[in-house]
Structure 1
Amino acid sequence: MASKFEASNQQNLEQVKALEEESKQLQEQIDELGKTAPRLAKLDEQNKILEEDRVKFENYNNSIDKKVEKYEDRLRMLESEMQRLDQELADAEQERNSLQEMVDRQGITVSDIDRMTAERKRLQTGVESTNLRLEETRDAVAKKEAEAAQRLEELESVVSKYNRMAYEIGVIPPDAPNAHGQEYELILSTSEGPAFGSSQMGEQPQDADRLLAETGTGYQPHHLLNLDVRGSLKSNMINLRKEISERRNNALEADMNNHDLLDKIKEAIEDKRAEAETLEHRIRAAEDEFEKTKEITNSQKMASDAQIEKMEKELARMRAGLTESVQLMEQREMNTNLEYEQLTVASSALREELHTELERMLNDIIKFKVHIQGSLEGYEEFVAQEVERECEEQEREEMGADDEKYGEDVEAKVEEMDLDE
């Protein structure tokens, strides 16, 4: 066993030595790795920087690709534009050649073309000067047209004002009170059409112009108005003025009469007003008296109200006392009823007890009577020999007296019991 233990112990020692050597090797590796740790951190940092640079470079490449695509699109567009311009240039060159051929076929020289160009410029200058004079003429015509339109508007306003005033004074229409069947209304007759300037521009015919009666002809006074203002209308107005003056004079006289009547009415009103003032003084005096009476009545009413309030308080107090008294009486009645019931119960119990006691007393009396009778019989037998006759009489008398007394006692007790019930 010792040898086996030594052998196993030796094996364990060898394993321990091997483990110690392995531990030393691992410790050396750990120390070496600890020395290389800063380098690894630095490498990690460089790796991160390179990764960021890679991302930035990719973004830059993407932006460059986009710019390249944009420039390629622009280049394609410019190429298409160049092709279009080349085509237009070719078409223009072809057109110029065709025109040159046409000129050559017509036999027109360069001097002829220059002469035609100069003639065209001269004609264009003449057209421009003519247009300028036409514009000046149109401006002058427009001024005249504006002046004529203003005069026409003034005439329309005057006619409208005349018709309004004539309507107010009652001469329009012919059946008005002051017209007497005469025609006083002025009607302005003008052509309905556009303005003169538009007719000059050729947009409308001249005969439709509102400022012209006919083509190239203006209005005459008798064309514009329907009545002869200086002739018949003026004479009618003078006659109407005379008539209105006469009516005004008559109205003034009537007005004077009315003023006189009004003065009389004013005097009567003044008299009535004086009477009214007197009545007002009397009314004020009556009102003062009424106010005094009202104050006295109010004071009396206040005093009576105070008295009534005092009496109401007293009545309320009496009602409260009466209520308390009623409650006390009711309580006393209840107590009395309770006492009566208790007494009734007690009297019933007492009656029963008295009946029982009476029965017991009657039994005792009967027993005592029987005992007395027995004693008397023995006593009678004892003295029978000596006083037989006297004893028998005495015994009869005593028995009669006892019976009467016993009957009276029984009747008295029965009456007392009846009274108790």
Structure 2
Amino acid sequence: MGETTTAATPLLNLVLGGVPVLAAAATVVWSLAGHRTTAHTRLARPSAACALLSLTTTVTLTTDSNSYWKLAEAALLLLLIAAVTRWSPVREVRIAVPLAALAVATWPLPLIDGGFLERTGAASFWLIPALTAAAVGAYPRRVDQRRRAAVSEARRAQRLQLSRDLHDFVAHDVSGIVVQAQAARFVAATDPGQAVLALERIEKAGLNALEAMDRTVRMLDSDQEASGAECLPPGVTQLAALVDDFTAAGSTEAHLHLPPETADALIHAREAGAAAYRIVVEALTNIRRHAPEALRAEVRFTATLAGVELQVTNDAPRASPDRRSTVLRRHGGLGLPALTEHAEALGGTLTAGPHEGGWRLTAILPCKPPSQRSRSDLHDQRTRPDPHPPGR
């Protein structure tokens, strides 16, 4: 009877030693066969259970007869370490991965007949593949996190650009609509003809705002194969119409000073020309909203060694603001800080502040004058059709 018990003990140890291997194999098969969002993200707890089983058998049952089981078990645990590191939530990774790494590092210790140094060396040796498996799982996780962060940042930049476009272009037209509507209300009873003219200007400003919104939507619509000309923002060629519309829409008389050579430089420097248009739109919109009583505004372009200097100046407003100006001044915008960043990104500057009782905005936009461009560049630019012909 004693001999039967002695013979059964190694067999029992061998069978019990295979339990962690079967558990780890079942976990690996479940993760491969299950759905990614369920099996992969819920892999940490079964892996931790397998690691605890492995540690238990390492302490109690490891003999020379079941060392092959432990080797297979270590290989399966390495697969689980990589998978858990790749897919599981971080809070679960912090528990399951160290347990599995400890199980892999300590499985050969009961088989070593040596001192502390020998056992420490063996554990360190087997810890290397555990760390490697964790690195294999962590690398694609990090790449995926960086990709999601890049997508999130791109979406944020797109939303910010959309808000800036709406502020730069639509707010200008909407402010004109408000001014014209207020003017029509005051003159409707005494001069119906002027009210009709105001309504025509309101219609034109509304159509311009709709066009700006349509252009912004086309820029965001990735499925629509629009040509590059359709998506380009307005530029220098629209400045004259912009200033004329501003003068017609309110009581402030605006004047544009744009020498032909400076206009040519801005037309060919497309980014600088678009930035100049947006800066003028923002400056005129701020005059309309914050100084509607100003009598005169001046938009002046001057060629400099650094590029082109743009100044938008309005004189001091009249002393008695009326009710309409109060309505327009209630809320400010964030256009100037955004345009300042845009000008600096192009290598220029933008400043604004009080000037002789009024306000002055000054922007320096670097652009290469025509004499410094190559003949091929000039030929390409001149033969390319202008997507934005002059308004008037």
The two structures share one fold, judged by TM-score above 0.5: no
Structure number, greater radius of gyration: 1
Q: Which has the larger strand fraction? A: 2
TM-score, length of structure 1 as denominator length: 0.21
User: Which gives a bigger RCO, structure 1 or 2 (Cα 8 Å, sep 6+)?
Assistant: 2
TM-score, length of structure 2 as denominator length: 0.22
